[in-house]
Structure 1
Amino acid sequence: MTSDVRKLPTGFGRLWTAQTVSSLGDGVTHAALPLLALTLTRDPMALAVVTAAGTLPWLLFGVVGGALMDRWDRRRTMWVADTARAVLLVMPAAAAVLGVLSIPLLAAVAFLLGLGGLFFDTAATAYLPDLLGRDPVHLERANSRLRGAQTAMSGFAGPPAGSALLTLGRAVPLVADAVSFALSALLVRSLPAVPRPAGGVRASLLREARDGASYVFRDRLLLGLALRPAVGNVAFLAVETVLALFAHDRLGIGTFGFGLLLTAEATGGLLGAGIASFLGRRLGTGTALTCTAASEGLAVLGLAAAPNPYLAGFALAVCGAGMGATMVLAPSLRQAIVPARLMGRVASTSRMLAMCAAPFGAFAGGWLATAYDVRTPLYAAAGVLLTMTALTASMTGNRRVEAALRGAEPAGGPVRPAAGSPVLEGAPGRRREPVADGVAETSHVPGQRS
């Protein structure tokens, strides 16, 4: 197959470098923020407020943000969002230096960082298939490299660095992340421009947002890919909310050890991203996605029962491997089958479902830890993940995936129909080979940018 030997476009290298730099800063902050919060309070519900705040922008603006991404220049949106986040991080860094850092300030910064992440992530998801010509092989290779870099930096190198930098001063890890955002913005600004999808008469913003959401809900495969991270995020945020407290109180792990614990998850994530293509070829993408989802649930169950840091680290590594593979296979599949003109809206709808569920997990984790025990949220999370895997297995099966790929639009796609059309051309109900009779978006886990 020709696409197996063609090189990825030159611009991809700059995109990869930008994400690598930014992910290193993310890893630094990811380890530092919960530790900063622990210096201010030991209340699990207060910690849940900070964790949940970063996910609220997806609840409030997710679908509309996707519609904007299908109107705006995606490259410009990415570098502006990263520039804004670099400037934003100056605020908590200054507050830390002045001794006025507080839980409300951390929550506000988390919210605004999440808003910037909404625009950047949606734009990047829509930009990548345009850059690669919607080639499925290129998309899988590119997502594998992007996910590998993100995991290595945000989970493997970043958390120990964040823990170490925190010992130098509370503002240091925040400044490091601000610098990473600034460098990422410069690199993204140098990326090549790509053609915008052809469009017809433009509908209202809300109508376009609704069309994108309905496209996901009418397609069982896309809905299954969206439901897994949505339900999974309830579980993962419950885990993340209490992870620092669990590590300190039950495993006896200190500041530096917590960073190493997150590194174990990232090590598994690197392995998962590296073997994702092999699993997809060997098992079929649908079966591979089901297996990785099951491995996550079993790993969290092992984490809950872990009697020492070593078994806890192993459980997080297994969970990371499942997530690493999932976050290569699921986005690559979505990018290959969704028309370019709808990519921003479909991506944001899927991500919105995942992120809207996250605050419930954060508060559920805080409540369960307060009412029962710090291990209780971990056991509950494992049950949720395993139940979700069983319920969505048939929605993302191999036959359904194969039919979706056969019915996908070629690069470029047809011109978008005029506003007011009852069904968008190319929507699931209009495919020549219906997905329903034929044959996950990124979840949030410790060590991963939301």
Structure 2
Amino acid sequence: MTIRTKAPLPSEFHRIWAASGVSALGDGIYYTALPLLALGLTHDPMVFSTVEACALLPWLFLGLIGGALVDRWDRRRVLWVTDSARFALIGVFALVAAAGGANIAVLCATAFLLGVGQIFFDSASGAYLPTLLGRDPETLQRANSRLQGTGQALEGFVGPPAGGLLFALGRSVPLAVEAATFLFSALMIRSLPPTPAKPRASRTSVLADAREGALYLLRHRLLLGLALRPAVGNFAFLGVGAVLALYVHDTLHLGAALYGVFLTAEAVGGLSGTALAGWLSDRFGTGGTLTLTAAVEAVALLGIGLAPNAVVAGAGFAVLGAAMGATMVLGGSTRQAIVPDELMGRVTAASRLLSRSAGPAGALFGGWLATVAGLRAPFLFGAAVLGVMVVVAARFTSNSRIDAALAEAAAREDAAVPVTV
């Protein structure tokens, strides 16, 4: 029997880790402050859901194009330029908020532009990590576990209460902090080695490249399942997220400061989920774990919707976060291990487009459902929708299907390595 030793992650990874962690802290502050800022402008659930939908709409129009461009460009440059642009955008937004000029239109415009930046950043980061670390699934799981775990801890545990406290100091204060985190991330990523795209024999159009990536995803049953899983989930989660601030304020009767503390429950669970992802995969297989977490998410969201108080709802969010944390580590690592490098940006973008395409509809539907049936209704309906994920996971992302795809990817990599005599 051969015992595999775990190779240490390279020093460059620690720079990505630091950039990701600081950026996650800023996101936790921002995503706590944004609904509080909106809450000072309106209590209309439909308006809340419109702001949420604006952040996701760019994926519908530019998602595939962004992935095609990422595969043509230096992925490291895409990352630091995008974060530099987001630093400037949030900086301007902070100045507008400080001057009292923030309104729903400004919030929607800012959310939309941040969504454009996220297309390029997410597509490039998903493609950059396997280029840096290689395709070994265990190595990618370790790296993604650290990235996701740190992100959960800072974005979900430290960021939300900090966002609530900073918002109490002034509505522009958390925005200024978020801008600073984007700047730090840009400078850290700028120091990483460049990764120019591999030259291709014939240069096709951007649209043709985007189509190639989308078709690769749609024809690959496992990759399609890994994308459909979050698509179904996002419809439910965004429907809930669109009215969460109202639910916590009006139904659970928590104030602005405790709202940030409440959000940490999901992060606590997410942190444990990312830490346990590898253990669960070893015990049940990656496919078995993905089916298990799908069922847990459905039950957890149902419990949140029926919760009689904030303590029970917080416990439900902790369980939900644990399932989501393990899912993100295992799903992302599997995709990174099996997609060819020259297609990584496009397939990542196509996967995100498919998974997020249901988000705007979910956000708007959640706002409408809360308006006509009450603030608990999106949680109960979302739990039923999440039940569909159990079937999706069991059929499309089984252990046998994942093992076959990893073996195929390993054979492709071996064939690409030149033999020296």
Provide TM-score, normalisation by structure 2: 0.96
Q: Measure, in 2, the Cα distance between the counterparts of 1:98 and 1:195.
A: 42
Which AA in structure 2 matches 1:190?
S
- Where does residue 369 of structure 1 map in the other structure? 370
- Where does residue 391 of structure 2 map in the other structure? 390
- Where does residue 101 of structure 2 map in the other structure? 100
Contact 2:74/2:196 (<8 A) preserved:
no
Contact 1:156/1:262 (<8 A) preserved:
yes
Identical pairs, percent? 54
Q: Deviations over 1:324-344 (max 9, x none)?
A: 000100010000011101100
Instruction: Report the CA distance between 1:275 and its aligned residue.
Output: 0.2
Contact 2:9/2:133 (<8 A) preserved:
yes
| SS of 1:199 mapped into structure 2 | coil
| SS of 2:7 mapped into structure 1 | coil
Q: Number of matched residues?
A: 415
Contact 2:225/2:392 (<8 A) preserved:
no
Contact 2:124/2:345 (<8 A) preserved:
yes
- Where does residue 245 of structure 2 map in the other structure? 244
- Where does residue 380 of structure 2 map in the other structure? 379
| SS of 1:42 mapped into structure 2 | coil
Instruction: Report the CA distance between 1:379 and its aligned residue.
Output: 0.5
- Where does residue 219 of structure 1 map in the other structure? 220
- Where does residue 48 of structure 1 map in the other structure? 49
Written as runs of structure 1 = structure 2, the 5 A alignment for 1:142-161 is 142-161=143-162
Give the RMSD, CA atoms, in angstroms.
Answer: 1.4
Displaced runs of 4+ in structure 1, greater than 3 A? 1-4, 194-198, 409-415
| SS of 2:375 mapped into structure 1 | coil
Instruction: Report the CA distance between 1:92 and its aligned residue.
Output: 2.0
Instruction: Report the CA distance between 1:104 and its aligned residue.
Output: 0.7
Instruction: Report the CA distance between 1:3 and its aligned residue.
Output: 6.2
Instruction: Report the CA distance between 1:412 and its aligned residue.
Output: 8.8
Instruction: Report the CA distance between 1:391 and its aligned residue.
Output: 3.5
- Where does residue 167 of structure 1 map in the other structure? 168
Instruction: Report the CA distance between 1:199 and its aligned residue.
Output: 2.6
Provide TM-score, normalisation by structure 1: 0.90
Q: Measure, in 2, the Cα distance between the counterparts of 1:99 and 1:305.
A: 38
- Where does residue 17 of structure 1 map in the other structure? 18
* Structure 2: runs of 5 or more not aligned: none
- Where does residue 233 of structure 1 map in the other structure? 234
| SS of 1:202 mapped into structure 2 | coil
Which AA in structure 2 matches 1:109?
T
Which AA in structure 1 matches 2:309?
N
- Where does residue 32 of structure 1 map in the other structure? 33
Q: Deviations over 1:235-282 (max 9, x none)?
A: 000010111101111111111111111100000000000000000111
Q: Measure, in 2, the Cα distance between the counterparts of 1:70 and 1:2.
A: 36
Written as runs of structure 1 = structure 2, the 5 A alignment for 1:26-425 is 26-194=27-195, 196-197=197-198, 199-409=200-410, 410-411=412-413, 414=416
| SS of 1:174 mapped into structure 2 | helix
Q: Measure, in 2, the Cα distance between the counterparts of 1:188 and 1:90.
A: 20
Instruction: Report the CA distance between 1:8 and its aligned residue.
Output: 0.7
Contact 2:290/2:393 (<8 A) preserved:
no
Instruction: Report the CA distance between 1:192 and its aligned residue.
Output: 1.9
Which AA in structure 1 matches 2:184?
L
Instruction: Report the CA distance between 1:193 and its aligned residue.
Output: 2.5
Structure having the higher helix fraction is 2
Q: Deviations over 1:392-417 (max 9, x none)?
A: 411110111111111115559759xx
Which AA in structure 2 matches 1:120?
F
Contact 2:265/2:315 (<8 A) preserved:
yes
Contact 2:167/2:173 (<8 A) preserved:
yes
Which AA in structure 1 matches 2:239?
A
Contact 1:130/1:195 (<8 A) preserved:
no
Instruction: Report the CA distance between 1:198 and its aligned residue.
Output: 5.1
| SS of 1:200 mapped into structure 2 | coil
